[in-house]
Protein backbone atom coordinates (compact mmCIF):
# COMPACT_ATOMS: atom_id res chain seq x y z
CA UNK A 1 0.00 0.00 0.00
CA UNK A 2 1.32 3.43 -0.96
CA UNK A 3 2.29 5.68 1.95
CA UNK A 4 -0.05 8.42 3.14
CA UNK A 5 1.05 11.79 1.80
CA UNK A 6 3.67 13.00 4.33
CA UNK A 7 2.18 16.50 4.34
CA UNK A 8 -1.13 15.04 5.53
CA UNK A 9 0.50 12.62 7.96
CA UNK A 10 2.18 15.63 9.56
CA UNK A 11 -1.23 17.13 10.31
CA UNK A 12 -2.16 14.07 12.33
CA UNK A 13 1.19 14.13 14.18
CA UNK A 14 0.92 17.82 15.05
CA UNK A 15 -2.73 17.44 16.06
CA UNK A 16 -1.90 14.69 18.55
CA UNK A 17 1.13 16.59 19.85
CA UNK A 18 -1.03 19.66 20.49
CA UNK A 19 -3.43 17.61 22.58
CA UNK A 20 -6.48 18.87 20.69
CA UNK A 21 -9.61 16.76 21.05
CA UNK A 22 -11.31 15.16 18.08
CA UNK A 23 -13.68 17.43 16.19
CA UNK A 24 -16.80 15.65 17.42
CA UNK A 25 -15.87 14.88 21.02
CA UNK A 26 -18.81 16.08 23.11
CA UNK A 27 -20.73 17.39 20.10
CA UNK A 28 -23.94 15.73 21.33
CA UNK A 29 -24.01 17.86 24.49
CA UNK A 30 -26.35 20.88 24.71
CA UNK A 31 -23.44 23.25 24.05
CA UNK A 32 -21.49 20.75 21.97
CA UNK A 33 -22.26 22.22 18.55
CA UNK A 34 -20.67 25.65 19.10
CA UNK A 35 -17.69 24.08 20.91
CA UNK A 36 -17.03 21.64 18.06
CA UNK A 37 -17.38 24.41 15.47
CA UNK A 38 -14.87 26.63 17.24
CA UNK A 39 -12.49 23.68 17.56
CA UNK A 40 -12.86 22.98 13.83
CA UNK A 41 -12.07 26.60 12.95
CA UNK A 42 -8.96 26.50 15.12
CA UNK A 43 -7.78 23.21 13.63
CA UNK A 44 -8.18 24.52 10.09
CA UNK A 45 -6.27 27.68 10.93
CA UNK A 46 -3.44 25.77 12.60
CA UNK A 47 -2.98 22.83 10.25
CA UNK A 48 -4.53 23.38 6.81
CA UNK A 49 -5.25 26.97 5.79
CA UNK A 50 -7.37 27.75 2.76
CA UNK A 51 -5.66 27.86 -0.64
CA UNK A 52 -5.33 31.25 -2.29
CA UNK A 53 -7.45 31.13 -5.45
CA UNK A 54 -8.57 33.64 -8.04
CA UNK A 55 -12.13 34.38 -7.05
CA UNK A 56 -15.04 35.60 -9.12
CA UNK A 57 -18.21 37.31 -7.98
CA UNK A 58 -19.79 35.94 -4.79
CA UNK A 59 -23.43 36.81 -4.12
CA UNK A 60 -24.75 36.41 -0.57
CA UNK A 61 -28.45 35.61 -0.19
CA UNK A 62 -30.97 34.11 2.18
CA UNK A 63 -33.81 31.95 0.91
CA UNK A 64 -36.92 31.18 2.97
CA UNK A 65 -36.78 27.48 3.77
CA UNK A 66 -39.24 25.23 5.61
CA UNK A 67 -37.47 25.76 8.94
CA UNK A 68 -36.48 29.39 8.44
CA UNK A 69 -33.95 31.34 6.37
CA UNK A 70 -31.16 29.39 4.64
CA UNK A 71 -28.03 31.44 3.83
CA UNK A 72 -26.47 30.65 0.47
CA UNK A 73 -23.55 32.01 -1.52
CA UNK A 74 -23.63 32.00 -5.29
CA UNK A 75 -20.05 31.65 -6.50
CA UNK A 76 -19.19 32.58 -10.09
CA UNK A 77 -16.07 31.46 -11.95
CA UNK A 78 -13.18 33.90 -12.05
CA UNK A 79 -13.32 36.15 -15.14
CA UNK A 80 -16.94 35.17 -15.85
CA UNK A 81 -19.91 37.48 -15.72
CA UNK A 82 -22.38 37.38 -12.87
CA UNK A 83 -26.13 36.99 -13.04
CA UNK A 84 -26.58 40.77 -13.30
CA UNK A 85 -24.94 40.81 -16.73
CA UNK A 86 -25.47 39.05 -20.02
CA UNK A 87 -22.63 37.80 -22.18
CA UNK A 88 -21.61 34.83 -24.29
CA UNK A 89 -19.00 33.77 -21.74
CA UNK A 90 -21.57 33.38 -18.98
CA UNK A 91 -21.27 29.80 -17.67
CA UNK A 92 -24.18 27.51 -18.49
CA UNK A 93 -23.65 24.98 -15.72
CA UNK A 94 -24.98 25.09 -12.15
CA UNK A 95 -23.92 23.08 -9.09
CA UNK A 96 -25.76 23.05 -5.76
CA UNK A 97 -23.02 22.28 -3.21
CA UNK A 98 -23.24 21.00 0.38
CA UNK A 99 -20.26 21.36 2.68
CA UNK A 100 -18.84 18.60 4.85
CA UNK A 101 -18.33 18.55 8.59
CA UNK A 102 -20.04 15.51 10.07
CA UNK A 103 -23.43 17.26 10.10
CA UNK A 104 -22.11 19.30 13.06
CA UNK A 105 -19.31 21.63 11.86
CA UNK A 106 -18.45 23.51 8.68
CA UNK A 107 -20.05 26.53 7.06
CA UNK A 108 -19.94 28.77 4.00
CA UNK A 109 -16.57 30.21 5.04
CA UNK A 110 -14.87 26.87 5.70
CA UNK A 111 -15.86 25.57 2.27
CA UNK A 112 -15.77 28.72 0.19
CA UNK A 113 -12.49 27.65 -1.40
CA UNK A 114 -14.10 24.34 -2.40
CA UNK A 115 -16.83 26.26 -4.20
CA UNK A 116 -14.36 28.69 -5.80
CA UNK A 117 -12.13 25.90 -7.11
CA UNK A 118 -15.05 23.94 -8.54
CA UNK A 119 -16.51 27.09 -10.10
CA UNK A 120 -13.20 27.95 -11.76
CA UNK A 121 -12.11 24.49 -12.88
CA UNK A 122 -15.53 23.20 -13.94
CA UNK A 123 -16.73 26.58 -15.25
CA UNK A 124 -19.99 26.42 -13.36
CA UNK A 125 -22.02 28.58 -11.02
CA UNK A 126 -21.90 27.11 -7.50
CA UNK A 127 -24.75 27.58 -5.03
CA UNK A 128 -23.06 26.95 -1.67
CA UNK A 129 -25.69 26.01 0.94
CA UNK A 130 -25.50 26.79 4.67
CA UNK A 131 -27.90 24.10 5.91
CA UNK A 132 -28.77 23.83 9.60
CA UNK A 133 -26.40 21.83 11.79
CA UNK A 134 -26.71 19.22 14.52
CA UNK A 135 -27.12 18.86 17.44
CA UNK A 136 -29.37 21.93 17.42
CA UNK A 137 -31.12 20.65 14.29
CA UNK A 138 -31.29 16.90 13.97
CA UNK A 139 -32.26 14.67 11.05
CA UNK A 140 -34.22 15.31 8.89
CA UNK A 141 -34.10 19.11 9.29
CA UNK A 142 -30.75 19.53 7.45
CA UNK A 143 -32.03 17.27 4.67
CA UNK A 144 -35.12 19.47 4.35
CA UNK A 145 -32.88 22.54 4.01
CA UNK A 146 -30.78 20.89 1.30
CA UNK A 147 -33.82 19.73 -0.65
CA UNK A 148 -35.41 23.17 -0.48
CA UNK A 149 -32.17 24.81 -1.68
CA UNK A 150 -31.89 22.31 -4.54
CA UNK A 151 -35.44 23.03 -5.68
CA UNK A 152 -34.88 26.77 -5.30
CA UNK A 153 -31.80 26.63 -7.54
CA UNK A 154 -33.63 24.58 -10.15
CA UNK A 155 -36.59 26.96 -10.17
CA UNK A 156 -34.24 29.96 -10.36
CA UNK A 157 -31.90 28.49 -12.94
CA UNK A 158 -32.24 31.56 -15.18
CA UNK A 159 -30.31 33.68 -12.67
CA UNK A 160 -27.65 30.96 -12.36
CA UNK A 161 -26.21 28.86 -15.21
CA UNK A 162 -29.54 29.14 -17.04
CA UNK A 163 -29.31 25.66 -18.60
CA UNK A 164 -31.46 23.00 -16.90
CA UNK A 165 -29.59 20.30 -18.84
CA UNK A 166 -26.47 21.32 -16.90
CA UNK A 167 -27.83 21.21 -13.37
CA UNK A 168 -25.99 19.13 -10.74
CA UNK A 169 -25.56 18.47 -7.03
CA UNK A 170 -22.38 17.80 -5.10
CA UNK A 171 -20.71 17.78 -1.73
CA UNK A 172 -17.93 16.39 0.44
CA UNK A 173 -18.23 13.93 3.35
CA UNK A 174 -21.51 14.74 5.16
CA UNK A 175 -22.19 17.12 2.28
CA UNK A 176 -21.60 14.20 -0.08
CA UNK A 177 -24.23 12.35 1.91
CA UNK A 178 -26.68 15.18 1.24
CA UNK A 179 -25.71 15.30 -2.44
CA UNK A 180 -26.36 11.56 -2.84
CA UNK A 181 -29.72 11.98 -1.10
CA UNK A 182 -30.58 14.95 -3.32
CA UNK A 183 -29.80 12.84 -6.39
CA UNK A 184 -32.34 10.27 -5.19
CA UNK A 185 -34.95 12.96 -4.48
CA UNK A 186 -34.34 14.65 -7.84
CA UNK A 187 -34.78 11.35 -9.67
CA UNK A 188 -38.01 10.66 -7.80
CA UNK A 189 -39.40 14.18 -8.32
CA UNK A 190 -38.70 14.75 -11.99
CA UNK A 191 -35.54 16.86 -11.77
CA UNK A 192 -33.03 15.56 -14.29
CA UNK A 193 -29.45 16.03 -13.11
CA UNK A 194 -26.40 16.26 -15.34
CA UNK A 195 -24.25 14.79 -12.56
CA UNK A 196 -23.64 14.25 -8.89
CA UNK A 197 -20.17 15.11 -7.58
CA UNK A 198 -19.45 12.97 -4.51
CA UNK A 199 -16.24 13.70 -2.61
CA UNK A 200 -15.65 10.87 -0.11
CA UNK A 201 -19.37 10.81 0.75
CA UNK A 202 -20.98 9.19 3.79
CA UNK A 203 -23.58 6.86 2.29
CA UNK A 204 -24.39 4.47 5.15
CA UNK A 205 -25.02 6.21 8.47
CA UNK A 206 -25.84 2.92 10.19
CA UNK A 207 -22.07 2.50 10.40
CA UNK A 208 -21.23 5.82 12.08
CA UNK A 209 -18.64 4.75 14.63
CA UNK A 210 -18.60 7.77 16.90
CA UNK A 211 -21.35 7.66 19.51
CA UNK A 212 -21.27 11.43 20.08
CA UNK A 213 -21.79 12.03 16.38
CA UNK A 214 -24.66 9.53 16.11
CA UNK A 215 -26.44 11.10 19.05
CA UNK A 216 -25.84 14.59 17.70
CA UNK A 217 -27.46 13.91 14.32
CA UNK A 218 -30.17 11.38 15.15
CA UNK A 219 -32.95 11.38 17.71
CA UNK A 220 -33.18 7.60 17.36
CA UNK A 221 -30.14 6.19 15.60
CA UNK A 222 -31.45 2.65 15.26
CA UNK A 223 -34.43 3.67 13.15
CA UNK A 224 -33.56 6.98 11.52
CA UNK A 225 -30.22 5.84 10.07
CA UNK A 226 -32.13 3.25 8.02
CA UNK A 227 -33.99 6.00 6.17
CA UNK A 228 -32.57 6.44 2.62
CA UNK A 229 -32.56 10.19 3.29
CA UNK A 230 -29.89 9.40 5.90
CA UNK A 231 -28.28 6.39 4.21
CA UNK A 232 -28.59 6.63 0.42
CA UNK A 233 -26.85 3.26 0.13
CA UNK A 234 -30.05 1.73 1.54
CA UNK A 235 -32.39 3.15 -1.12
CA UNK A 236 -34.60 0.48 -2.71
CA UNK A 237 -33.23 1.27 -6.15
CA UNK A 238 -30.35 3.27 -7.59
CA UNK A 239 -31.45 2.81 -11.18
CA UNK A 240 -31.78 6.08 -13.05
CA UNK A 241 -29.56 8.13 -10.77
CA UNK A 242 -27.47 10.92 -12.24
CA UNK A 243 -24.04 10.19 -13.72
CA UNK A 244 -21.61 10.17 -10.81
CA UNK A 245 -18.08 11.41 -10.18
CA UNK A 246 -16.75 9.94 -6.93
CA UNK A 247 -13.31 10.45 -5.40
CA UNK A 248 -11.81 8.84 -2.29
CA UNK A 249 -8.49 7.65 -0.88
CA UNK A 250 -7.69 4.30 0.78
CA UNK A 251 -6.68 6.04 4.02
CA UNK A 252 -10.20 7.43 4.36
CA UNK A 253 -12.34 6.00 7.17
CA UNK A 254 -15.21 6.06 4.63
CA UNK A 255 -13.23 4.10 2.02
CA UNK A 256 -15.22 0.86 2.37
CA UNK A 257 -18.45 2.86 2.54
CA UNK A 258 -17.51 4.47 -0.77
CA UNK A 259 -16.59 1.15 -2.38
CA UNK A 260 -20.01 -0.19 -1.38
CA UNK A 261 -21.73 2.78 -3.00
CA UNK A 262 -19.66 2.42 -6.14
CA UNK A 263 -20.76 -1.21 -6.32
CA UNK A 264 -24.49 -0.41 -6.09
CA UNK A 265 -24.15 2.38 -8.66
CA UNK A 266 -22.38 0.04 -11.08
CA UNK A 267 -24.99 -2.67 -10.49
CA UNK A 268 -27.73 -0.13 -11.25
CA UNK A 269 -26.05 0.91 -14.51
CA UNK A 270 -25.32 4.46 -13.36
CA UNK A 271 -22.59 6.13 -15.47
CA UNK A 272 -19.63 6.46 -13.12
CA UNK A 273 -16.19 8.04 -12.95
CA UNK A 274 -14.46 6.57 -9.90
CA UNK A 275 -11.16 8.06 -8.77
CA UNK A 276 -9.07 6.43 -6.05
CA UNK A 277 -6.11 8.43 -4.79
CA UNK A 278 -3.49 6.14 -3.30
CA UNK A 279 -1.82 8.66 -0.96
CA UNK A 280 -4.89 10.47 0.36
CA UNK A 281 -7.28 10.27 3.29
CA UNK A 282 -10.57 11.85 4.30
CA UNK A 283 -10.98 15.56 3.62
CA UNK A 284 -8.26 15.92 0.98
CA UNK A 285 -10.17 18.65 -0.88
CA UNK A 286 -9.44 20.82 2.18
CA UNK A 287 -5.68 20.12 2.09
CA UNK A 288 -4.82 21.58 -1.29
CA UNK A 289 -2.74 24.43 0.18
CA UNK A 290 -0.35 22.01 1.90
CA UNK A 291 -0.55 18.83 -0.21
CA UNK A 292 0.31 18.67 -3.90
CA UNK A 293 -1.32 15.25 -4.15
CA UNK A 294 -4.54 16.75 -2.79
CA UNK A 295 -4.38 19.65 -5.21
CA UNK A 296 -3.86 17.36 -8.20
CA UNK A 297 -6.76 15.16 -7.11
CA UNK A 298 -9.08 18.14 -6.62
CA UNK A 299 -8.26 19.54 -10.05
CA UNK A 300 -8.72 16.17 -11.75
CA UNK A 301 -12.14 15.66 -10.16
CA UNK A 302 -13.20 19.16 -11.20
CA UNK A 303 -12.13 18.45 -14.76
CA UNK A 304 -14.08 15.18 -14.72
CA UNK A 305 -17.06 17.19 -13.54
CA UNK A 306 -16.64 19.76 -16.30
CA UNK A 307 -16.55 17.01 -18.94
CA UNK A 308 -19.80 15.62 -17.59
CA UNK A 309 -21.41 19.05 -17.87
CA UNK A 310 -20.15 19.45 -21.42
CA UNK A 311 -21.52 16.05 -22.42
CA UNK A 312 -24.94 17.07 -21.08
CA UNK A 313 -25.34 19.49 -24.00
CA UNK A 314 -25.48 23.20 -24.67
Positions marked catalytic: 173, 252, 282
DSSP assignment, residue 73? Answer: E
Query: 130 CB contacts (<8 Å, ≥6 apart)?
Result: 70, 71, 72, 73, 99, 107, 108
Rounded CA separation 103/304 (Å): 27
Angle between helices 292-311 and 6-18 (to 10 degrees): 120
* DSSP code, position 112: H
SS3 255: helix
| Residue 96 and residue 69 in contact, taking contact as beta carbons nearer than 8 Å | no
DSSP one-letter code for 81:
-
> Which of 240, 221, 70, 62 shows the shortest CA–CA distance to 143?
70
Q: For residue 99, what are the contacts with CB-CB under 8 A and spacing of at least 6?
A: 106, 107, 108, 110, 111, 114, 128, 129, 130, 171, 172, 174, 175
Amino acid sequence: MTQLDPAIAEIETRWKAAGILGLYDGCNLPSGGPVSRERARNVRGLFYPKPVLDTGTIEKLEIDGPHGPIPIRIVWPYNSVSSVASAREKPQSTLVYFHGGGWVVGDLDSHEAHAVRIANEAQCVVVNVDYRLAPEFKFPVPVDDCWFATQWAYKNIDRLGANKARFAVGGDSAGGNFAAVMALLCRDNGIALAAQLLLYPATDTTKIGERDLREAYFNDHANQSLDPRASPLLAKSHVGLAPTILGVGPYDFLYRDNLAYVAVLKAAGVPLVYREYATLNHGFFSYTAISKDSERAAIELCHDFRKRFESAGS
